[in-house]
Amino acid sequence: MIAPIPEARHPRVGVGVLLTDNQGRVLLTLRKLPPEAGCWSIVGGKVDFLETLEQCAIREAREEVGVEISLGALLCVTNHCLPDENQHWVSPAYLGQVLSGEATNREPGKTREVRWFSLDELPANLTMTGRNAINAFTRQLSSGSGRAL
């Protein structure tokens, strides 16, 4: 008899979008669930089968916070490896702007709070993906190559 092959562990893909407004603020969500429960993150989630990264970012913004968005440039890709949580994600993050709707918590089972933050008053407990996206955005702003949409 052949022994069963143990289930392979594979990284998952989750797309984020750093939403900005015309006041220089970013939209963050306070996570209830892993990965990084209890930390503030950018809007985003798991890519569905046959969904593009861009389609996922737009869908997640609609589902999580109830807004329609436009996407800008890809800000960064995070190797989101959290061995203590048994989580491994490959996480591209885009820059985005709200086109319509007011950001509210549309997933209270997953999210504690949704809030706009100025870049100089960010919470200390940012997720790895949130921190990387914000750092990439602020580097673009300071170099003059980036701008809020």
Pairwise CA distance, residues 82 & 33, whole Å: 14
Task: Output DSSP code: residue 35.
Answer: S
> What are 128-143's pLDDT values in tens digits?
999 999 999 999 999 8
> What are 50-75's pLDDT values in tens digits?
999 999 999 999 999 999 999 999 99
Task: Output DSSP code: residue 144.
Answer: T
The pTM is what? Answer: 0.90
**Domain ranges, ordered by start, for the chain:** 12-143
Query: Could you tell me the fold of the domain covering 12-143?
Result: Nucleoside Triphosphate Pyrophosphohydrolase (3.90.79)
